[in-house]
Amino acid sequence: MGDLEGAIRLRSEEIEALTLSPFAQRSADAARDRDEAPCPIRTAYQRDRDRIIHCKAFRRLKHKTQVFISPEGDHYRTRLTHTLEVAQIARTIARGLRLNEDLTEAVALGHDLGHTPFGHAGEAILDEVVRRCGGAGFHHSLQSVRVVDELEGEGGLNLTQAVRDGIKYHSPGYDQPATAEGRVVRLADRIAYINHDIDDSLRAGILGPDELPPECLDVLGTTHRRRIDTMVRDVISASAGRAEVAMSGAVGAATEKLHDFLVERVYDIVSPAKREELKARRLLEELFRFYLGHPGEVPGAPPPEGERPDPVLLQAIVDYVAGMTDRFAIAQYQRHFIPAPWSVDDPGGVAGEAGFGVRAAKE
């Protein structure tokens, strides 16, 4: 049985060698920082994908904000559904360009593992408070790499270098990923969030269908489905036979204009979609400051030394806060800052404290 299983992986690698584009990554060439025996059935990138899907940080994405904080409807995107949409778009583009779909999917599924609770509002305030404490700041891309390198599993997931590179450089403002597959995910991320944020904003009544820029709709399409189809097909057409992955001039310009429109109407702090963000920022900032003064509340944190927090303590707090779901962060804030109800059977709220303690350990 072992020989048969080994033949399965080797056959998959042979198919890649015969069918993939010259610009694609081959699983047989994948490298890890720590050597390990290959899986007899799965290629290296399939193995990475599975490790990401089964890790705790991936499961927590279902309770992390995308744009709308704690929406009352069931159909608004979360960080998990965003991730799945990115993976679907990225795989479609990768297949059209004959790139490695398994590598593309692994990068897409792992790209937001380090995202904070409360979306980019949480990321912004965490960056601010870390810098005030003398740290280097915070960005979810780098935290996502830290999650897979150190925080998940026993000493990290030991993912391949290509997957780690794609996760690290998926955000604008950073260098381009080293692989074409990583560059596909970077573009698919933008295609996904532009379109699903429009969809969610229309559902919430923040935008009306007649408010979207008509010049963009003329190029991209008037429906959610059509816009994604236009963008995906354009990327494949404009990138075929090239090492670079990009949109054509007309579609790229319309996409950027649509993004700028969302920045002004949806992402800006005065938007109705953002009315809870100031509360979320205040909540995380107060939690962070509380943990600085109470390091015993942070799993694995060392005691503070001197007036400024030790870098190891600061990193432990960052890891703990960034890893929280929205609801766990709210629960911890209630635990530390909101008086617990008193009762004869539970003087001092002891049972409530114990309950939160159990929950914290599970998170």
* Per-residue pLDDT tens listing for the chain (363 residues): 456 667 999 999 999 999 999 999 999 999 999 999 999 999 999 999 999 999 999 999 999 988 877 666 678 889 999 999 999 999 999 999 999 999 999 999 999 999 999 998 999 999 999 999 999 999 999 999 999 999 998 899 999 999 999 999 999 888 999 999 999 999 999 999 999 999 999 998 889 989 999 999 999 999 999 999 999 999 999 999 999 999 999 999 999 999 999 999 888 766 666 677 888 999 999 999 999 999 999 998 887 776 667 899 999 999 999 999 999 999 999 999 998 876 666 555 544 443 333 333 334
**First-last CA distance in the chain:** 39
Query: Which of helix, strand or coil describes residue 239?
Result: helix
Q: Do residue 143 and residue 164 come from a single domain?
A: yes
Residue 139 lies in a domain: yes
The confidence score (pLDDT) of residue 174 equals 87
Q: What is the DSSP letter of 272?
A: G
Give the domain-ending residue among 274, 309, 330.
Answer: 274
Q: Are residues 120 and 237 in the same domain?
A: yes
Q: Are residues 123 and 213 in the same domain?
A: yes
Q: How far apart are CA 246 and CA 168, in angstroms?
A: 19
Does residue 263 share a domain with residue 199?
A: yes
C-alpha distances out from residue 240 to 23, 93, 210, Å: 10, 10, 35
- Which of 35, 33, 36, 27 is closest to 9 using CA atoms? 27
281 in the same domain as 237: no
DSSP state of 244: S
Distance CA(338)–CA(334), nearest Å, equals: 5
Within this chain, do residues 222 and 352 fall inside the same structural domain, yes or no? Answer: no
Q: Which domain holds residue 282?
A: 277-362
At 255, list the tokens.
């996409």
Domain identity same for 147 and 69: yes
Strand partners, 160: 32
Measured CA to CA, the distance from residue 175 to residue 74 in angstroms comes to 36
Domain count, the chain: 2
Q: Shortest CA distance to 64 belongs to which of 108, 111, 115? A: 115
